[in-house]
Amino acid sequence: MGASQNLMERWKTLQKCVCDGARLMVGQGDYAAYAEHIRRTHPDQRPMSEVEFFRNRENARFGVGNTSGFRCC
Amino acid sequence: MGAISKHGPWALVGALGAAALSIVAIERGEAVNALWLVVAAVCTYLIAYRYYSLFIAEKVMRLDPARETPAVRHNDGLDYVPTNKTVLFGHHFAAIAGAGPLVGPVLAAQMGYLPGMLWILAGVVLAGAVQDFMVLFVSMRRDGRSLGELIRSELGTIPGIIALVGTFLIMVILLAVLALIVVKALAESPWGTFTVMMTIPIAMLMGVYTRYIRPGKIGEVSIIGFVLLMAAILYGQNVAASPVWGPAFTFTGTQLCWLLIGYGFVASILPVWLLLAPRDYLSTFLKIGTIVGLALGIAVVAPHMQMPAMTKFVDGTGPVWSGQLFPFLFITIACGAVSGFHALISSGTTPKLIANESDARFVGYGGMLMESFVAIMALISACVIDPGVYFTMNTPAAILGTTPESAAAAVTKLGFPVSPETITQTAQDVGEHTIISRAGGAPTLAVGMAHIISSAVGGKAMMAFWYHFAILFEALFILTAVDAGTRACRFMVQDLIGLAVPAFKETTSWVPSIVATAIAVGAWGYFLYQGVTDPLGGINTLWPLFGISNQMLAAVALTLCTVVIFKMKRERYAFVTIVPTLWLCICTLTAGWQKIFSADPRIGFLAHADRYAAAAAEGKVLPPAKNADQMAQIIFNDRIDAALAVVFIGLVLAIGAFGVLSCIRALRAVGWTARESDAPAGGRPVPAE
């Protein structure tokens, strides 16, 4: 029982790691971490919604004046 | 006893690597299994990572796990976020790996696989990975600032501006050469052209989906896009076979060149969510997936190397690109061994995401080792196909003619026997009209990949599918790079002109945006057009220019790192960056010099211009020019290329001189002079040994 639970845990961790990795590859950071960060450090502010966060990151990657989405040769 | 258990396993890894390398290197008259190259490479990486990168981390940089990184200090949940190091590794690798490590080794294969392989391994361990790691470190200690800003603050304003202008020029050449690869791969190929064109509506569909229907659902939309892409590849065969649509999707190189220029212009003005972002998902995931697939394919199929370890073309007479092993092999394989562009990525988003200083070693040094492995796989793919087919695909049409018979005769004369039937059969297998003179690396790599993957999945019947899959995969991320790069160039132009006309900096207003985009597209479009109409096939002209500029950027970045090491009073370890800097300077300056002044018109731009000028003076027209105007154009292009090489040389010499001056100043200073962003006022005391 304990062993299979442990295995499930590890599978979940792996899954999260792969998903986060894939999203970060295209410039999308971790929304949960962002929301948590805002709640903790700026309790007076309303965090962006998930969709707003998505668009914010999309613009940050390719948007005006930003070259961070520039790809290597 | 402790030492044995600590270093013993690594000694075994080293011994295995050495054994594999000697099997690869010592010719025994029989084909070597590609797996030995893989084993030699992986063992080299493991040893280098375990010992050399640790030495750099501990002795040169003194990474301090207790010290706050920018991600921790400035954590905003957006740009600065402490990130799991494995996740960050993926992000960094996806950003540095592109077409470069795939194309360079394929072109280098004309000298055999051994020279290329040795340079990839030595280059990455001692130069490429060191550069990526060092720049990441320098940027991480300075709030994740960019390469240009770092050079300005550590070397001075003038070197900063020189580096910015240099970066712009390098980017222009890069975009031109990438676009040229796509043109070479799609010319006269209706199947390939159709599938690549279909990526535009597919990406737009995905863009609308993530914008309005299910915002932010990247996984879903990528799966939908992937299914549509596969359908486009499958259906492409019918399109190519159709008497109506086949010819409609068949374009010459020049036509494709204009299409790409138009595309680059429109795509970089469109909103990012519509085309660029969704295609970025497809190209990124497809890239990672294909790299993993290729690695599995090589492991399962264990193909034999057909190309000799070394060919006679090390003397510089090769048909694919001209010039001797030194310096041109080291220029041809840029990415995969050492690539200056990585300095832009290592000083971009990655340093802002590092959670702990000690992670920089895995992300910076490790990420580059991974890219190097991609280059080794590309080299393997190019060398497992019949060398006769390799040279048929990569030799200029001027030597081969256009029929299988003339090509077979010419390639056989080069010393690589091939029959007309083999050429025709290979073209049929991959579903193309012809494979003659399909230079540029992408088609050759696609044949190699199709050869490997179809041996594992699907057999010969699937070969045409895998070939077009490989072409699509390369074209997809090249187009993404062209699009994103044009945008980046446009902002640079707006910044530069904005110095004189402030209103021009307004990135949201239409006129400056369109003018700046036109300048950016015009710049790379000019070199693309020149490459497409080049008598020697374009790659021969542009790839060395690209390699030289890319490695010069690496020399500039490593100079910055050297200066920082001196400023940190760690100069006794400065050889770590000085040795690769000197090597890169020797290579790029020699190559640059030869590209300008070599008396051989196949190498030297000026000699080539003189040959055409002499003919023009006598009223003669040399192919591929068809009239006096085109003659004049070729002469003009050669001189532009020569001037560009002069600019690159001047740029590196200038940065080198500024670097030496800064080092001397740092050496004379009593204490620590590096400008780290969290340093206390009055500088940091030099830590005791």
Show the 3-state SS of B4-56. HHHHHHHHHHHHHHHHHHHHHHCCCCCCCEHHHHHHHHHHHHHHHHHHHHHHH
Q: Is it the case that residue A66 has pLDDT exceeding 90? A: no
pLDDT confidence band for B335 (50 / 70 / 90): confident
- Using the predicted structure, report yes or no on whether residue A67 has a pLDDT greater than 60: no
* Nearest residue in B to A50, CA atom: B216
Percent of chain B, pLDDT > 70?
A: 98
Q: Residue B620: left (phi > 0), alpha (psi -120 to 50), or beta?
A: beta
Q: Which residues of A touch B212 (CB under 8 A)?
A: none
CB distance B107 to B394 below 8 Å = yes
Nearest to B352 by CA among B683, B57, B677: B677
In contact, B180 and B542? CB cutoff 8 Å: yes
Which of B399, B433, B429 is CA-nearest to residue B416? B399
Whether chain A has a CB inside 8 Å of the CB on B348: the answer is yes
B467 touches chain A (CB under 8 A): no
pLDDT at residue B654, rounded to an integer: 95
Question: Is residue B20 over pLDDT 70?
Answer: yes
How far apart are alpha carbons B595 and B593 in whole angstroms?
5
User: pLDDT (tens digit, 9 = 90+) per residue, B523-540?
Assistant: 999 999 999 988 777 888
- Which carries the bigger pLDDT value, residue B490 or residue B18? B18
pLDDT of residue B369: 97
Task: Look at A65 and B507 and tell me if their CB atoms are within 8 Å.
Answer: yes
Is A26 at the interface with chain B, CB within 8 A? Answer: yes
Cβ–Cβ of B84/A20 closer than 8 Å? yes
Q: Tens of pLDDT along B231-278?
A: 999 999 999 999 999 999 999 999 999 999 999 999 888 888 999 999
Distance from CA of B617 to the nearest CA of A (A): 40
Q: Flag whether pLDDT at A38 surpasses 60.
A: yes
Per-residue pLDDT for B317 more than 70? Answer: yes
Q: Which pLDDT band holds residue B2 (cuts at 50, 70, 90)?
A: confident
Distance of alpha carbon B411 from alpha carbon B389, whole angstroms: 9
* Contact assignment for A72 to B76 by CB distance below 8 Å: no
CB contact under 8 A, B215 and A30: no
Q: What is the H or E stretch that residue B403 is in?
A: none
Q: Nearest chain A residue to B338 by CA: give it.
A: A73
Nearest by CB to A25, from B91, B98, B216: name it. B91
Cβ distance A60 to B79 less than 8 Å, yes or no, reads yes
The answer to whether B81 contacts chain A (CB < 8 Å) is yes
Report how many Cβ contacts below 8 Å link chain A to chain B: 140
**CB contacts, 8 Å: A66 with chain B:** 491
User: Given pLDDT bands bounded at 50, 70 and 90, which one contains residue B687?
Assistant: low
Please list every residue in chain A whose beta carbon sits closer than 8 Å to the beta carbon of residue B288. 25
**pLDDT digit string (tens) for B159-190?**
988 888 888 888 899 999 999 999 999 999 99
Q: Rounded to a whole number, what is the distance in Å from the CA of A62 to chain B's nearest CA?
A: 7
* Closest CA–CA distance from residue B381 to any residue of chain A (Å): 19
Residue A69 and residue B280: Cβ atoms within 8 Å? yes
Burial of B207-227, coded b for 16+ CB within 10 Å and e otherwise, reads: bebbbeeebbebeebbeebbe
Average the pLDDT over B560-587 and give the result.
96
- pLDDT of B35-66, one tens digit each? 999 999 999 999 999 999 999 999 999 999 99
pLDDT confidence band for B397 (50 / 70 / 90): confident
Alpha helices in B268-355 (DSSP H): 276-301, 325-332, 341-346
Cα B184-B266-B500 angle, rounded to 5 deg: 110
The DSSP line for B52-88 is IIHHIIIIII---TTSPPHHHHT--SSSS--B-HHHH
Average pLDDT value for residue range B413-431: 94
Cβ contact B216–A20 (<8 Å): no
CA angle (A46, A50, A56) in 5-degree steps: 85
Residue A71's pLDDT is 56
Contact B488 A67 (CB under 8 A): yes
DSSP-H helix ranges across B347-462: 359-360, 367-383, 387-394, 397-400, 404-414, 420-429, 442-456
B492 band by pLDDT with thresholds 50, 70 and 90: confident
Question: Residue B161: what pLDDT?
Answer: 84
Mean pLDDT of chain B: 92
Chain B CB contacts of A60 below 8 Å: 78-79
Residue of A nearest to B97 (CA): A72
Contacts of B667 (CB under 8 A, 6+ apart): B566, B571
B contacts of A41 (beta carbons < 8 Å): 75
Mutant choice from A45, A55, A73 vs B, greatest count of B C-beta within 10 A: A73
Quick one: pLDDT at residue B3?
Answer: 85
Alpha-carbon gap, residue B81 to B134, rounded angstroms:
21
pLDDT value at residue A63: 65
Query: What is each CA distance from B233 to A69, B384, B399, B453, in whole angstroms?
Result: 27, 25, 32, 16
How close B331 gets to chain A, by Cα (Å)? Answer: 14
| Percentages (nearest 5) of helix, strand, coil residues in chain B | 75, 0, 25
Give residue-wise pLDDT tens across range B467-488: 999 999 999 989 988 888 898 8
DSSP three-state, residue B508 = coil
What pLDDT, on a 0 to 100 scale, did the predictor assign at position B688? 55
Average pLDDT over residues B140-148: 92
> By the CB < 8 Å criterion, does A20 face chain B?
yes
The pair of three-digit structure tokens given for residue B585, joined into one six-digit string: 């300077």
The two tokens of residue B602 are 């196949």
| Residue whose C-alpha is closest to residue B557's, from B360, B410, B346, B411 | B346
Would you call B88 and A63 a contact, using CB atoms and an 8 Å cutoff? no
Across the interface, whether the CB atoms of B84 and A17 are under 8 A apart is answered: yes
Burial (0-12, 13-18, 19+ Cβ within 10 Å), B137: buried
Distance CA B520, CA B535 (A): 25
CB contact under 8 A, A73 and B341: yes
Q: Read off the pLDDT of each residue in B490-514 and give the average, rounded to a whole number.
A: 82
* Amino acid B92: pLDDT: 95
Per-residue pLDDT, averaged over B606-615, amounts to 94
Residues 324-343 of B with CB under 8 A from A: 334-335, 339, 341-342
Is residue A29 within 8 angstroms of chain B, CB to CB? Answer: yes
Q: What is the pLDDT of residue B679?
A: 64
What confidence category does residue B119 fall into, taking pLDDT thresholds of 50, 70 and 90? very high
Distance CA B229, CA B233 (A): 6
Chain A residues closer than 8 Å to B345 by CB: 72
Mean pLDDT confidence for B546-562: 94
Give me the torsion for CA of B469, B471, B474, B476, rounded to 10°.
Answer: -70
Q: Quick check: B477 and A59 CB within 8 A?
A: no
Is the Cβ pair A72, B100 closer than 8 Å?
A: yes
Q: What is the pLDDT of residue B190?
A: 95
- pLDDT for B195-241, tens place per residue? 999 999 999 999 999 999 999 899 999 999 999 999 999 999 999 99
Contact (CB<8Å) A65/B76: no
Q: Which of B18, B95, B7, B103 is nearest to B546 (CA)?
A: B103
Chain A residue numbers touching B480 (CB-CB < 8 A)? 71
pTM (two decimals): 0.94
The Cα-based distances of B187 to B8, B182, B245, B253, B641 in angstroms read 54, 8, 15, 5, 24
Residue B285: its chain A contacts at CB < 8 A? 22, 25
- Over residues B636-665, the mean pLDDT reads 94
